[in-house]
Structures are given as C-alpha cells and as structure tokens.
Structure 1
Amino acid sequence: MKLLVCVKQVPDMESRFKPNGQGTWFEEADLAWRMNEYDEYAVEQAVQLREQLGDAAELTVLSIGPDRVVEAIKKALAMGCDKAVHVVDDAVAGKDPWQIAAIITAHAKGVGYDLIFTGMQSQDRGSAQVGGTVAEELGYACATTLVGFTYDNGTITAKRELEGGIKGVARLATPALVTCQLGLNTPRYPTLPNIMKAKKKEILSIPVADLLTVDPLAVTASFHPPAKKGCGVILEGDVGPMVDQLLGILKEKTAVLR
C-alpha cells in the first residue's frame, strides 16, 4: 500500500512579522521555521498506519518550497516516514491553493498513492483548500477535519469534527485523502536514534517546473500591518472627579449623553 503525507514548513507563530519590501508577503529573513502544526497530526496518523500495515505499506512525505523545507522533511522522516519528495520551489509563497494542489496532484498521479494525509490547513495562510482540491483532481474519496481514524482492509472510518462540536462519522474506500487536525492524536517526538536513521533515508528533489508549468499569480502589494489606533486614556484620582471626567470624554468623543 502506497501512503503519502504532505507537510508544509511555516514560520513559528511567536515570530515578529513584518511586510517584505514588495508588500506581497512577510519578510522571511531571521524567522524561525517549523512544521505546520496540523501537518504533524497528519504525519503521526500516517506513521501509525504504516506501523499497523508493516512491510505491506510504504510511506512517503512530500513538501514544496526552498531548500529550508528539508528540515521539516527530515523531522517527518525521523517520525517514521520511509522516504521523501522535495519539490524545489523558491517562489512557493506566490502560489495560490489551486497551484499547490496541482503540484501535489501531478506527483501523485505518477505514483498512484492509495491514501494521502494532509493537515486541515496551514497556519500561515489558513485556506483549508489544498487537501480537498487534491482529492477532487485525483477523483479520490475525501474526509476533512478528522479527529478519529481507523483503517481495516481498504476501508477508512473517519470521525470528523463539524460545526457546533458535532462529531460525524464517514466511511471511505481507498483510494482516499483525509485532512487531519487537533484532537486526532498526539504527535511523537523524534528520538535521537530515529533522527540518525533519517539521515540515511532517500530525499528525492524535483524541480517545480517538472510538475507545474503555470506561472504564479501576480500578487500586488497587499500585505501590511494593521493600522495603528490611538491609545486608551487612564483616569486616576478620586471617584467623583473621575466620573465627571469620564462623562466629559463621552460627550466629546461619542453621541452618548447628547
């Protein structure tokens, strides 16, 4: 059984972001990078299935981006993936979800994966469109926002989190694609022996031009920090004078008490 898990490298959300010189995305210099959180759940679930199936399965991890995404790939390999595909693309930030999905689809069609795992969404863009689009393009069954997963003889039982906290259950036959989120599992921490083993695992590099011939969209300057707002006013002193002062501010700044 051929398994694929797709991961994305994103900035640490605790980083200080600022627009780049073109105003099209954030400045990437000096940021700390990590595997997208939702993708960690996807990797863990894929590795658990790989362990369940044993030698009958092979698990590949795929990531799109510049050279730095190899670090995210190596983490997935250390977690238990068998091999990796790095789609080399220095301009990945300028591609929309359809183009990202088209790249994954082009690779997947050539291999014929039985089951594909992705994160529910990325932490930097949050479109939640890539997984579903890949499934549509491949003609695969699809279940999104998984919080429960079991596999038995070609049938997937997927517990999904829906609006209002309702849990829905779907059963899918392979080939299929599922998107994973918080609550599905607890991602394992790569151990030192597995990190060392990961260094010997195959990472196949593919130029993005081999999979996608459409140019990225022309992004105009639209990325900017929120507009600065005035600071609040702190009133100090006795209660009586502060009440009078507050009423004066309300009359001046708003329609209250007019």
Structure 2
Amino acid sequence: MKILVCIKQVPDMESRFKPDSAGGWYSDTDLAFRMNEYDEYAVEQAVQLKEQLGGEPEVVVLSVGPDRVVEALKKALAMGCDRAVQVQDPAAHLKDPWQIASAIAGYAKGENFDLIFTGLQSQDRGSAQVGVTLAEILGFSSVTTIVGFEYADGTATVRRELEGGLKARVQLKTPALVTCQLGLNVPRYPTLPNIMKAKKKEILTLPMADLLHEEARSATVSFYPPPKRSGGIVLEGDVALQVDQLLDILRDKTTVLR
C-alpha cells in the first residue's frame, strides 16, 4: 500500500503581508514560513494509518515550491513520513490550482498510490481546488472537508462536515483522495529522535518543467490589503434624539446601497 500526502509551505498568518514589486502576490521578504495548518492534519492522518496497519504502508510527502519548502518536508518526515518529494519551482506562486494539481499528478501517475491526503485548502491562497482537481485528473474518488477517518480492507469510511454543523458518513473504495479539515485529529510534535532520523530520509527533487505541460487557466491579477475602515460615529443627546439620528443614518446607507 502506498500513501501520498500533499503539503504546502505558507507564511505564518501573524505576518505583516505586503504586495511584491509586481503587485500580483505578497512579498516573502521578512516572512516566517511554516507547514500549512490543514496539511498537518493530512500528515498526521497518513502516519496514523501507517501505524494502524503495522507500518506496512509507505507514506510519501510532496510539496511544490522553492528550496525553502524542504523545511516543511523535513517536519513531515520527522512526524513519520518515509520519504519526500520536492517539485522545485521558484515561481510556484504564479501557477494556478490546475497547474499545481497537474504537476502533482505528473508524479503520482507512475507511483500507484492507494490513498492521497491533502489539506482542505491553503491558508494563503485558500482556493480549496488543488485536492479535488488532482483527484479528477487521476480518476480517484474523493471526499472533501473530512473530520473523521477509518480504513479497512481497501475501503475508507469518512465523516465530512456539512453546513449547519451536520456531518455525512461516506465510504470510498481505493484509490481515493480526501481533503482534511480542523477536528480530524491532533497533529503530533516531532520528537528529537525522530527529527534526527528524518535527516537520513530521502528527499527527491524534481524540476517543475519535467512534470508540468499545462497552460494556466486563471491568474492572480492583483494583491492588495483591504481598504482601511473609517472611524465610527458617536451619537449624542437623549435616547429619542439618538434613535432619530440612527434611523437617518440607516436610511442614507440604504439609499446608497440601492
């Protein structure tokens, strides 16, 4: 059995973002990077499955991006993945979800994976498209936003989150792909012995040009902060006067919206 986990390295969400010189994405100057939070749930679930099956499955972790993504791959290896693949691309941020999924599929098609775990979405772009697009390209069945996972005899049974706090129970025959959501598990912290073991594990580097032969289908036109909010309005006077003032303000805003 072979398992693939797709991860992305993203900036720490507490960072101060600013547009790059081209204005199409954020500048990575002075940013701290980490593994995408949703992808940590994917790594943890893959490693838990490996442990459940007695260590028999091989767990491969893959990331697309510049050389710095190796740090995220090393963390996944320290969490329990067996080997890593970096699809090397300094301009990965300029690729749309279709291209990223196509590049991953270019690698995965020759590996005969039984299960693929991805995060629900990346915290920087937030498209939630790469996982399901990858499943479509590979011809895998897929379920998104899973918060529960069980596996036995070639069948995955998952619980997925729906609107209104409801959950659905879905069964998938392998090969299958699932996208992982908050609440699925609690990702482990890599221990020092496992960090040391991870240094000896293989990290294969593949150029993006060897895997991608697709043109972009969408492009990010601009990247900019939201407009600053204006200050609030303080109403003064007795309650009746304040009510009249408030009604006048709401009428004016309603007129503008129309």
Query: Residue 2 of structure 1 corresponds to which residue in structure 2?
Result: 2
**Contact 1:95-1:217 within 8 A present in 2 as well:** no
Give, in whole Å, the separation in 2 of the partners of 1:251 and 1:143: 49
Give, in whole Å, the separation in 1 of the partners of 2:111 and 2:33: 29
Give, in whole Å, the separation in 2 of the partners of 1:210 and 1:140: 23
Q: How does 1:185-200 map to 2 (within 5 A)?
A: 185-200=185-200
Query: Residue 99 of structure 1 corresponds to which residue in structure 2?
Result: 99
How far the C-alpha of 1:247 sits from its partner, in A, is: 6.7
Query: Residue 157 of structure 1 corresponds to which residue in structure 2?
Result: 157
* Structure 1 spans left out of the alignment, 5+ residues: none
CA RMSD in angstroms, aligned pairs only: 2.3
Query: Residue 225 of structure 1 corresponds to which residue in structure 2?
Result: 225
Query: Residue 14 of structure 2 corresponds to which residue in structure 1?
Result: 14
How far the C-alpha of 1:52 sits from its partner, in A, is: 1.4
Q: How does 1:1-258 map to 2 (within 5 A)?
A: 1-216=1-216, 219=219, 221-234=221-234, 239=237, 255=252
**Contact 1:147-1:181 within 8 A present in 2 as well:** yes
Query: Residue 256 of structure 2 corresponds to which residue in structure 1?
Result: none
* Structure 2 spans left out of the alignment, 5+ residues: 254-258
Distance 1:181 1:255, change over 3 A: closer
Code of the residue aligned with 2:8 in structure 1: it is: K
* CA displacement, residues 186-222 of structure 1 (integer Å, 9 cap, x when unaligned): 0001111111111110000000000003355684642
How far the C-alpha of 1:233 sits from its partner, in A, is: 4.5
**Could you say what secondary structure the match of 1:39 adopts?**
helix
TM-score under structure 1 normalisation?
0.90
**Contact 2:159-2:170 within 8 A present in 1 as well:** yes
**Could you say what secondary structure the match of 1:149 adopts?**
strand
Code of the residue aligned with 1:98 in structure 2: it is: W
TM-score under structure 2 normalisation?
0.90
**Could you say what secondary structure the match of 2:109 adopts?**
helix
Matched pairs, number: 253
Code of the residue aligned with 2:206 in structure 1: it is: I
- Pair member with larger Rg: 1
Distance 1:192 1:212, change over 3 A: same
**Contact 2:98-2:216 within 8 A present in 1 as well:** no
How far the C-alpha of 1:108 sits from its partner, in A, is: 0.5
* CA displacement, residues 19-64 of structure 1 (integer Å, 9 cap, x when unaligned): 1111100111111111111000000000001111234210000000
Give, in whole Å, the separation in 2 of the partners of 1:253 and 1:185: 46
Identity %: 65
Give, in whole Å, the separation in 2 of the partners of 1:220 and 1:59: 33
How far the C-alpha of 1:227 sits from its partner, in A, is: 2.2
Give, in whole Å, the separation in 2 of the partners of 1:134 and 1:148: 21
- 4+ aligned runs moved over 2 Å, structure 1: 213-221, 227-236, 242-256
Code of the residue aligned with 2:45 in structure 1: it is: Q
Distance 1:149 1:245, change over 3 A: closer
* CA displacement, residues 111-169 of structure 1 (integer Å, 9 cap, x when unaligned): 11011000011111111111111111111111111110001111111111111111111
